[in-house]
Amino acid sequence: MVKKLIIQKFGGSSVANVKRVQNVARRVVRYKKKGFNLVVVVSALGDTTDELIELANQININPSEREMDMLLSTGEQISVALLAMAIHKLGVEAISFTGAQVGIITDAAHTRARIIKINTDKIQEALNKGKVVIVAGFQGVNLNQDITTLGRGGSDLTAVALAKELKADECEIYTDVKGIYTTDPRVEPLAKKIKAITYDEMLEMASLGAQVMQARSIEVAKKFNVPIHVRSSFKQDSGTMIIKEVKKMEEVVVSAITLNKGEAKITVCNVPDRPGIAAKIFNELADNEVSVDMIVQNVSHLRQTDISFTVSKNDAQKAIKTINRAKVAVGVKDVLEDSDIARISIVGVGMKSHPGVAGKMFEVLARNKINIEMISTSDISISCIVQKKFAEMAVRALHSKFGLSK
């Protein structure tokens, strides 16, 4: 009988200290003894990555990306060695590999590399010998043998890519929450753990600010149909499955409510209503590496219009400076900023086939006397910008109205 293969990925908080590394080792050994083949992907211990970044910045505020990858990749290398030792201590064979050793080949885009291919020979050989295979997450190697990293949350990508390449039966993402919730339980205590959610919904939630899993890794999981199980490394209960299609989906219109307070709204006033002006503004922003999220332009009166958009709060000042520099050329008068906003979104594949969801959302907000400042929609989500002080109230009202509190 062929043994089932499980990929288990443990994030930084799951291996934040010696006790937690030992805890992970015990879980791995339990699964091994149940008869599974195991490939374990580990992130750097706790805040190691942030500490290394801080160290680098003390030396060079603008460090070479190649050297940054050389530096940061040590974090995961430490984790895999320690986890191997902890598993050995429990009497089970295990072997650790760096991304380079496993042969996670990436392009040369340091600090945000993309995986080109994975050579699974070394892993397969170790699995055949009955060993638990431990792989450093977040890292790879380019064709020039330089160490690369896959960007924030890259260990998720390592796990999903390995699951695909090794044709794993499941990919478990262990984290410090119990799974995906209908909304943040700190905002709405009635929030429920979701048993199963689709890749598309999870992707939407990630882009709306949910930080449970790296967005790119969900894209890859979707593309290759890798079933993902997001669950807690501190509990035994199962968490949330992320899969292609969730049964009985018809009845569920809205799966989750997200809240993002990390953005600022910028309004460019009295923009001349001529073709090419908006393009000019947003090209300038792109050239200055300001990443714009929602964009709303109102119907024009008197050949002038207002354009509002949201950016990450960190980028707000840069965005304003950029537009102020381009003001005369573009023919703009005033630029306003509002940081006291929040973005509330409802997410659900069900809304594709259920008309009237948007109207219902606006009605709930109106009934609570919450003014909507901007609206943006996608196939499976609707987002509203509201004043920050109303954010929690809005989440709770929507959570209840769309039947998630039951």
308 membership: H or E segment, kind and range: strand 304-312
Q: Which amino acid is at 379?
A: D
Residue 255 Cβ vs a second copy, minimum distance, rounded to whole Å: 41
∠ Cα 208 213 216 (to 5°): 80
Residue 371 Cβ vs a second copy, minimum distance, rounded to whole Å: 48
Nearer to a second copy, 62 or 298 (CB): 62
CB 172 within 8 A of CB 6: yes
Nearer to a second copy, 90 or 295 (CB): 90
Residue 138 Cβ vs a second copy, minimum distance, rounded to whole Å: 14
Residue 24 Cβ vs a second copy, minimum distance, rounded to whole Å: 11
Nearer to a second copy, 63 or 262 (CB): 63
User: CA 225 → CA 73, 142, 199, 217, distances in Å?
Assistant: 28, 26, 9, 12
Residue 18 Cβ vs a second copy, minimum distance, rounded to whole Å: 5
Nearer to a second copy, 20 or 164 (CB): 20
Q: Which residues bind a second copy (CB under 8 A)?
A: 18, 21-22, 52, 55-56, 58-60, 63-64, 66-68, 70-71, 73-74, 77-78, 80-82, 84-86, 88-89, 95-96, 98, 100-101, 122, 145-147
CA 245 to CA 60: how far, in whole Å? 47
CB 280 within 8 A of CB 328: no
Nearer to a second copy, 67 or 306 (CB): 67
Mapped to the 3 state alphabet, what secondary structure does 82-146 carry? HHHHHHHHCCCCEEEECHHHHCEEECCCCCCCCEEEECCHHHHHHHHCCCEEEEECCEEECCCCC
For residue 333, what is the DSSP state?
A: -
Of 69, 200, 225, 78, the closest CA to residue 144 belongs to 69
Q: In a 3-state reduction of DSSP, which class is residue 216?
A: helix
Return the sign of the alpha-carbon dihedral for residues 51, 53, 56, 60.
negative
Residue carrying structure tokens 């219902």? 360
Residue 45 Cβ vs a second copy, minimum distance, rounded to whole Å: 9
CB 151 within 8 A of CB 1: no
Residue carrying structure tokens 């907000």? 365
Nearer to a second copy, 123 or 206 (CB): 123
Enumerate residues 6+ apart whose C-beta is below 8 A from 397: 364, 365, 367, 368
Nearer to a second copy, 58 or 298 (CB): 58
Nearer to a second copy, 70 or 372 (CB): 70
Residue 314 Cβ vs a second copy, minimum distance, rounded to whole Å: 22
Nearer to a second copy, 101 or 124 (CB): 101
Nearer to a second copy, 112 or 261 (CB): 112
CA 204 to CA 345: how far, in whole Å? 10
Residue 54 Cβ vs a second copy, minimum distance, rounded to whole Å: 10
Residue 308 Cβ vs a second copy, minimum distance, rounded to whole Å: 40
Structure tokens at 271: 């923009």
Residue 79 Cβ vs a second copy, minimum distance, rounded to whole Å: 10
CA 359 to CA 381: how far, in whole Å? 13
Looking from the CA of 274 toward its CB, the CA atoms found within 13 Å total 8
